[in-house]
Structure 1
Amino acid sequence: MSEHTETRPSRPQRTEVAQQGRPARVRQWTTRALGTDGHERHLVAFVLKSTIAATAAWAVSYYALDAESAAFAPFSAVLMLQVTVYQSVWHSLRYVAAVAAGVAVQLVFGFVLGAGLATFALVAVTAAVIGRWRRLGTEGAQVSTAAYFAFSTFVTAASGAERLGQLGEIIALVVLGCGIGVLVNLVVLPPLRYRSAEYGVQTLSHSLCDLISDMYPALRQGELDGERAAHWRDRASRLGPLVAQAQSSVHLARESSYYNPRRLLRRHAGHGTFHGYQAVIDALERVTYQIGSMTRSLTQCPMEDDGPEHAEFFRHYGDLLAALAHITNLFSSLDEDELEDQAPELCAAAGEAQEEHRRLAEYSDSLPLADPAQPYGILLAEATRLMEEAQYTCDVLQSAVDDARD
């Protein structure tokens, strides 16, 4: 007991360590952005592409074309930076259609009824109705936005010819911006592999592995504190968009394969087709939610040292998370051509994780699991559910490989 107390940092020391940990977390974030294809790298890529698209659109519209409403081009360009080039194309077509509809509404009512308040009200209600057309999708709101900007332009123009020219310029700039946005998305770090369900699994698993790999060393070494746990919880909450992205990648892969000539080349080259990615991503989604629940529980743990039992429990907990980090790392390198070899490796890793869970459960038998003031019971339950989901994910992959053989 005394040895354990002597080697553990005091509360002021732990505060100092936590403060010193902020630069370390910045370095970890940078390392993940450079070294792994997860959330951090996607954020950097989006910022880079947004900057390039907006700058290029502004340069063409303002300097080359000397347009009066030059901001429409960079605004439209940035909006086109969708998850995939495929989505960017369809997004841009709907966006241009919505803007053209809004401008057309203003064009008709403006020239027929003038620029009074009653005209604006009629333009507003008509644009709102058109914007509800389901074919425009999420771009329906742009009908009203374009109509309002067009009305403002219409009011300030001096003559009918100038009004017509400026309204036409708005549409031209939107088309220009959309074209530049799609081109940048295609040329600069094109996210074409997002069409692959395999890549969706890899990306989500990368981020899960990064988070768990940051958690288990701290738990093993008894360095859990409120700030660190809150940081983990925040990172876990940001995994949601990656889950949606992974789900979208499966849907998009299935949808776009009907128009993709590369499908024929893959068949000719002898590549198989793996249909289990949807089930794998569904299972990883549940793992993600369970990790979020676990981090919430860690933020509610008492940070005071309750003795060697406290440290030993979290050491076992860290061992389990280390085994789960290994599983997510294997999923992050999933390769369709190597699935038959990877599936047994994943099952073996799941077996090792089950053994760590068994050790944790056996040690926890001597702890006050039913005491609501202690974290052991709730954390053990979280670990059990997480282990079950991880095991199921490995089983799904193995089952899909077996089905492909048949």
Structure 2
Amino acid sequence: MTGGTTAEGPDTGRIAAVSHWWRRAFSYAGDERDTLLVIGKSALAASLAWLIAFDVLDARSPAFAPFSAVLIMQVTVYRSVVQSLRYVGAVVAGVLVQAALGFLAGPDFLTFVLVALIALAIGRWHVLGVQGPQVATAAFFAFSTYTSSSGDFQRFFRLGEIVVLVLIGCAIGIAVNVLVAPPLRYRSAEYGIRSLAHTLHDLLADMYPVLAEGVPDQDTTGGWRARAARTGQMIGQARSGLEASKESLQLNPRRLSRRYRGHPGFQGYESVLGALERTLYQVAALTRGLDRSREEDEARRPFLRRYAAFLESAGAVAEVLTTLDETTLLPQAKRLERLTGEAAARRDEVVEETRRLSLSLADPSAPYGILVTEATRLLEEFQYTSQVLLDVAQDADAERASGGRRR
């Protein structure tokens, strides 16, 4: 029985994972639901394109239409339009290369070699982007169509048919993407900010209890420095999420709906992301300053306890950003403003402690000047973030209110 249970364990785990995936897909908006939506929309676009190409137009190569419809079904409407234009350009270029050489040189092997060379060279053109290889693909299909047709008129007609089918497929793909739940990626910007804020909060939450107990050892401060330095990739991912969010608005009809008319927009999120990026760099500098505090005597412990209290208040500010949500932005911004004020009071206590202990802030061999400077910079970034979110939230509320009055 034990062996049977062990053998069934991996399958049970996979079944549970699949079940959990489907629950997430139907429970809330996220990657799982986006995946199902793209699959469903792609199937719909392909089916409509095939129906028109095969049943209505009786095309000789109807697969071009559904293939094109699926190929340009991108995550955002804007990207669908851009990629469809590049794809149509690539197909037209490939067909024109084949048409020119085919009618000039005839459908022999040497002509195919020239078509391949020229099409592949055109496909390297940077304007076509990822659709560059489609130049050669279209040229090869066009060559096949050309050689299997008889008479110049039929050849012209079949080559033109390829272009028409591609245009139909692209048009249907774009129409489905626009009309059937066009993707809006507001939350991608929030997710990136939340992720960075979690990193900042977790680091500060680990630092302040240690500082409250006394001088940290070299391994501890080295670990803090390493964690702060590993945020570069996360910052890049957050910026990519923000760009995807902004792109999802372009050419998207849902941005005009009542739900999204009062959205706070991305300018505030971009400012917050920049502030978090600078804050993480400052925390890295702060950890380097703490490395130097190990050389000081035990009389410096009261300073570190005050500094720990400041970092604890800074962590509370970061914790608010870990739950950033455009639907509750105004109360979050007000809470952030209050917590930032508390952090300012803790920073002032740090400065007062340096005066009470007669610690030199100008001595480059002591860490106190660096630590106080970084605390001030952290506070300034939090104050800036608080004000940005407060302004954005108030503007969004005012816009929603004015929209309601107009209705």
TM-score by length of 2: 0.58
Quote the Cα distance in structure 2 between the aligned partners of 1:53 and 1:348.
41
Shift of 1:362: 2.9
Deviates more, 1:342-351 or 1:166-175: 166-175
Conserved? CA contact 1:204–1:243, under 8 Å: yes
Q: What is the alpha-carbon distance in structure 2 between the residues aligned to residue 193 and residue 385 of structure 1? A: 33
Query: Counterpart of 1:360 in structure 2: which amino acid?
Result: R
Relative to structure 1, is the Cα distance of residues 352 and 73 closer, same or farther in structure 2, using a 3 angstrom cutoff? Answer: same
SS at match of 2:326: coil
Q: Distance in 1 between matches of 2:380 and 2:28?
A: 27
Report if the CA contact (8 A) 2:347-2:376 is conserved. no
- Pick one of 325, 329, 335 that aligns with 1:333: 325
1:353 paired with 2:352, answer: no
1:240: Cα distance to partner? 0.9
Distance 1:262 1:403, change over 3 A: closer
Q: Which amino acid aligns with 1:109?
A: A
For residues 92-131 of structure 1, the C-alpha deviation after alignment (integer angstroms, 9 at most, x for no partner) is 5324422331332223223124426665565567777xx7
The counterpart of 2:73, out of the listed 77, 80, 84, is 80
Aligned AA (1:363): V
Q: Distance in 1 between matches of 2:192 and 2:88?
A: 34
TM value normalised by structure 1: 0.58
Q: 1:232 & 1:142 partners in 2: Cα distance?
A: 30
- 1:298-337 to 2 correspondences below 5 Å: 306=294, 308=301, 309-310=303-304, 313-327=307-321, 329=323, 332-335=324-327
2:199 aligned with 1:211, yes or no?
Answer: yes
Q: Do residues 98 (structure 1) and 85 (structure 2) align?
A: no
C-alpha distance in 2 between matches for 1:398 and 1:93:
37
Residue 154 of structure 1, CA deviation: 6.4
Q: Any conservation in 2 of the 1:212–1:321 contact (CA below 8 Å)?
A: yes
User: Do residues 221 (structure 1) and 209 (structure 2) align?
Assistant: yes
CA contact (8 A) 1:76 1:174 kept: no
Give the Cα separation in 2 of the matches to 1:79 and 1:248. 16
- Out of 87, 103, 109, the position equivalent to 1:112 is 103
- Going from structure 1 to structure 2, the CA distance change for 1:303 and 1:158 (only over 3 Å counts) comes to farther
Aligned counterparts of 2:365 and 2:237: Cα–Cα separation in 1: 29
Computed over aligned residues only, the root mean square deviation of the Cα atoms, in angstroms, reads: 5.5
Structure 1 residues without counterparts, runs of 5 or longer: 1-29, 59-64, 133-137
List per-residue Cα deviations over 1:211-252 (Å, max 9, x = no partner).
333333222333653443334443233211122234335x53
Q: Is the 8 A contact 2:310 2:346 kept in 1?
A: yes
Equivalent runs, 1:7-406 vs 2, <5 Å: 42=31, 77=70, 80-83=73-76, 86-87=77-78, 89-91=80-82, 93-114=84-105, 115=111, 123=119, 140-141=128-129, 144-151=132-139, 159-161=147-149, 192-194=183-185, 199=187, 202-222=190-210, 224-249=223-248, 251-252=249-250, 256-257=252-253, 263=257, 266=258, 273-274=261-262, 277-294=265-282, 296-297=284-285, 306=294, 308=301, 309-310=303-304, 313-327=307-321, 329=323, 332-335=324-327, 343=330, 346-364=333-351, 366=354, 369-370=361-362, 371=364, 374=367, 376-377=371-372, 379-397=374-392, 399-400=394-395, 403-404=398-399
Contact 1:283/1:393 (<8 A) preserved: yes
C-alpha distance in 2 between matches for 1:159 and 1:272: 54
Q: Single out whichever of 173-182 and 118-127 deviates more from structure 2.
A: 173-182
Deviations 1:285-331 (A, max 9, x none): 432432453355367566587274457535522421322322552xx
CA distance in 1, matches of 2:260, 2:36: 35
Q: Distance in 2 between matches of 1:385 and 1:75?
A: 52
Change (3 A) 1:74 1:154: closer
Task: Tell me the SS of whatever aligns to 2:262.
Answer: coil
Percent identical among aligned pairs is 9
Give unpaired runs (5+ residues) of structure 2: 1-19, 47-53, 55-60, 106-110, 211-219, 403-407
Q: Deviations over 1:354-387 (max 9, x none)?
A: 2213313431562665537745155324303312
What is the one-letter code of the residue matched to 1:351?
Answer: R
Partners of 2:139 and 2:184 lie apart in 1 by: 42
Q: What amino acid is the match of 2:195?
A: S
Distance 2:287 2:160 in 1: 55
Change (3 A) 1:376 1:299: closer
Using the alignment, how far apart are the partners of 1:116 and 1:256 within structure 2? Answer: 42
Rg larger in structure: 2
Distance in 1 between the 2:282 and 2:238 partners?
A: 14
Q: How many residues get paired?
A: 337
SS of residue paired to 1:225: helix
What is the CA–CA distance in structure 1 between the aligned matches of 2:120 and 2:209, rounded to whole Å? 62
Which amino acid counterpart does residue 382 of structure 1 have in structure 2? R
Q: Match for 2:209: what amino acid? A: Q
Q: Give the residue type in structure 2 aligned to 1:105.
A: L
